[in-house]
Structure 1
Amino acid sequence: MVVVGIIAEYNPFHNGHLYQIRQTRKRFPTATLVVVMSGNFLERGEPAIVDKWTRANEALHCGVDLVIELPVAFCVQPADRFAAGAVLLLREMGVQKLVFGAEHADYDFAALAEKVGTVHGDFSRYNESFAAAYQRVIAEKIGHRVDQPNDMLGLAYAKANREMGNFLELVPLQRMGAAHHATVLAPGKNIASASAIRAQLMQAKTASVNNYVPQQTLNDLAKQQLVSWADFWPLLRYQLLTATHEQLRNFYDVTEGLEFRMKEKLERLPQTADFETWLQAVKSKRYTYTHLARLAVIILLQVTAAEVKHVSEKPYLRLLGFTPAGQQLLNQRKKKVAFPLITRVTQQIRKEQLQVDYRAGLIYELASLRVQDHGRAPLRVGYSLSRESH
């Protein structure tokens, strides 16, 4: 059995994602396609616009065979840690090839990973961010920067793969259409960035994205409550105002005196200040917008360093959904996997493996108004289109 993996967020699932799946099917027509997908809170420190079950269902209807949720402890991390968590789960599911989008699909990502795999640069300068320092060291090692979003993730996947014995064949796919962070829709095209699509949706311009997302996504967007940081800002603001500095320091990665800066900047802002205004106030050369947004999610969810350590040491596979082909793979792998394979959330699982994810689901429900974990079983989806059409 050929098993191909994709690491995704699908925020929301759009035509660019559909293109990737179709190209993967074209290249590996007999493969079982496994996706490791972020849950309700994402790598760049933001809530997903629609919940994980909706996005998993869209992927399954568009050609994916199996969707595994990436734990929150891996999701809200810089690229290297995010990639390491996702690649680890792919390995456990017997994935042999990893397909990923890249701005420069001609890069030999495995070779680049060999050159920078042992990077230990000077990241202690307080006049630059870790990301800037990392790019500086990469450029010194390989002769050029690798600073486009998908290229950076591709390098992170390659590094994780290298550290796990190079079990994956890396298959970069040239990114099509708009740039990753483009904020406007390109007229006359049918592929746009997720950022541009979200911007239109949050302005209640749903009709404007009709050409850029599959019908299944359109149907979901029309009937669901869309979620953004604005929904959680009052909750985060309350926590920041009422928590002591010591309590904030207890949360994962709140270091270097950030607990003081976060509270001080908030207290000086007017009552009408929103999440973006607060982030811009806290941002500095040392702390990037994305780093602070991740910390905001961590504080919102009250994730401690001990909880992140627990998930890292005892990973698990949370099954969100599958097709008949996905079920066949599960039957083959279930006696081989070393990690718990979670299909039902029991009281014990809530208290042990899913302690953070279950809490994240409850908080996300406050905005989405859709139950996330309690009583939820994996989705079972048959192909709505024949394999040949993909």
Structure 2
Amino acid sequence: MRATGIVVEYNPFHNGHAYHIAQAKKQANTDICIAVMSGSFLQRGEPAVVDKWTRAKMALNAGVDIVIELPYVYSTAQARDFASGSISLLAAIGCESFVFGSENGDIAPFLHTYDLISTHRDEYEAVIKKSMTDGMSYPQALQQAYQAVLAYRTGDTIDLAQPNNILGYHYVEAAQQLTPTIQPMTIPRTAANYHDESFSHASIASATAIRKALFDTKELMPIQSFVPETTYALLNEWQQQNPFVQWELFYPLLQYSILHKTPQQLTQYVDVSEGIEYAFLKAAASEQTFAGFMTKVKSKRYTWTRLQRMLTHIYTGYTKDIQAQFDKPSYIRLLGMTAAGQRYLGLQKKHIPLTLISRVAASNDPMLSFDLHAANLYEIGTNLGRTTPRFQTDYATPPIRVL
């Protein structure tokens, strides 16, 4: 059995994701689709709208055969590290290829872009460093560096101002540097753009627009035409017992996490630097909503996403000392599988170089231990909106089987 991989968050799963799965299997001509999916906290520095088990079930009901978890270390990191962890895990579980969506839709310009930047790596990195020292955000610095090396191009390249192209580039970069035997492929995004906040197509919408509708209306009906029936049913089931999750729900806990620290203590957390800790303390002391807090600390230097990642790390206690322990993925956490996925794992298991974990208990692996810790904190935050609190369900939940 042959497998292709996809990197996902499914926040939540929608019709565009179903299209991605179908096209990935078709383009890669494989039997199995394996999704490496972010867990409780996501790459944009926010808690997932529903928990990872619900999102994994959405995926398995819609064509994914195996769902594995992207550890917190990578799922909340900037694009390069997010991609590195994702592609490493897909390669370890035996994927021959991976397929990502992009604004471009053609893999050749991604490969040309990688070759261009690799050839002029020293200049590229130097421009990034200088641009950030001059006060640019990281995405702006990347774009500045890219423009500097474009003068040397000899073939088609991609537009690195587009969010999916940025992630796609880093997927290709990770594959070329870490595991060149895995083949990168891309398909064009369809109908909705990554950050679209409104519905402009009959059946395809961005996850951003879907979340906005859920948070604004607290109703499922407005999103019904944009998600598969199985996703709609799972969202309805979730809503019967839980709120849809966003930072606003967690804000009292985040506010406490900030205010009981000194400025020096706040700088211990990953990505917190350059005096932003003082802005955090001032905003947490005066603002009673997450939206108000973010409005107070936002500046040209810091993107919304970068700020949210810092706040995620403060909330979860992810310090620079903890981060320094991690070099590469040390295990594969299985969240769910179909009958075909189960057969694949049976055939592949002896060849997987990492420990395959289906049930967890207390762990000596620091990366897994932090995943469990982050999942518990996600659950505690979600309990603020539950009538019946839950605790430590990560220990008790077995992999989902859709057979």
Q: Conserved in 2, the CA contact under 8 Å of 1:139 and 1:145?
A: no
3-state SS of the aligned residue for 2:271? coil
> 1:287 matched to which residue of 2?
302
Three-state SS of the structure 2 residue aligned to 1:233 is helix
Contact 1:110–1:170 under 8 Å retained in 2? no
1:381 is the counterpart of 2:402: yes
Runs of 4+ in structure 1 off by over 6 angstroms are none
CA contact 1:103–1:148 (8 Å) conserved in 2: yes
TM-score by length of 1: 0.91
Deviations 1:220-279 (A, max 9, x none): 111212111111111011111111122212222222222223213333x34x3x212212
CA contact (8 A) 1:114 1:159 kept: no
* Structure 2 residue aligned with 1:193: 206
Per-residue CA deviation, residues 162-207 of structure 1 (Å, 9 max, x unaligned), is: 11142222111110011110101125x1000000011111121310
The one of 345, 368, 373 aligned to 1:359:
373
Counterpart of 2:83 in structure 1 is 83
In the TM superposition, 1:30-49 aligns within 5 A as 30-49=30-49
Q: Which amino acid aligns with 1:183?
A: E
1:135 has 2:148 as partner? no
Matching of residue 317 in structure 1 with residue 322 in structure 2: no
Letter in 2 for 1:129: S
Tell me which moved more, 212-221 or 126-135: 126-135
Question: Unaligned stretches of 5+ in structure 1?
Answer: 383-390
1:205 aligns with 2:206: no
1:25 deviation in Å?
Answer: 2.9
Match of 2:154 in 1: none
Q: Percent identity?
A: 37
Distance 2:110 2:33 in 1: 22
Matched with 2:359 is: 344
2:255 is the alignment partner of 1:237:
yes
The answer to whether 1:172 aligns with 2:176 is: no
After superposing the two structures, state which structure 1 stretch, 306-315 or 70-79, moved more.
Answer: 306-315
1:303 Cα deviation from its structure 2 partner: 0.8
Rounded Cα–Cα distance in structure 1 between residues aligned with 2:326 and 2:162: 29
Question: Which residue of structure 2 aligns with residue 386 of structure 1?
Answer: none
Counterpart of 1:253, as a letter, is: D
Listed as ranges, the gaps of 5+ residues in structure 2 are 152-157, 384-388
Return the offset for 1:305: 1.9
Greater displacement, 366-375 / 151-160: 366-375
Contact 2:88–2:329 under 8 Å retained in 1: no
Q: Distance in 2 between matches of 1:212 and 1:200?
A: 11
Residue-by-residue CA offset, 1:320-371 (whole Å, 9 max, x unaligned): 011122122222332223322111112235x644221111111111216555
Determine the C-alpha separation between the residues in 1 that align with 2:226 and 2:191. 11
How far has the Cα of 1:285 moved from its partner?
2.3
- Letter of the 1:195 counterpart: T
SS in 2 for 1:380: strand
Of 209, 214, 234, 1:220 maps to 234
2:19 matched residue in structure 1: 19
- Give TM-score, length-normalised by structure 2: 0.89
Q: 1:71-129 CA deviation, whole Å, 9 max, x = no partner?
A: 01101111111001101101101111111110111352122112123331332423211
Distance change (3 Å), C-alpha of 1:339 and 1:311: farther
Equivalent position SS for 1:332: helix
Which residue is equivalent to 2:267? 249
C-alpha deviation, 1:29, in angstroms: 4.9
State the alpha-carbon separation in 1 of the partners of residues 219 and 359 from structure 2. Answer: 37
Q: Are 1:149 and 2:169 an aligned pair?
A: no
The 8 Å contact of residues 98 and 168 in structure 1, kept in 2 or not, is answered as yes
2:125 to 102, 115, 120: 120
Letter in 2 for 1:121: A
Report how many residues are paired: 377
Tell me if the contact between 2:4 and 2:30 (Cα under 8 Å) persists in the aligned partners.
no
Q: Is the 8 A contact 2:101 2:188 kept in 1?
A: yes
2:25–2:32 Cα contact (<8 Å) kept: no
Query: d(CA) in 2 for partners of 1:372 and 1:156?
Result: 33
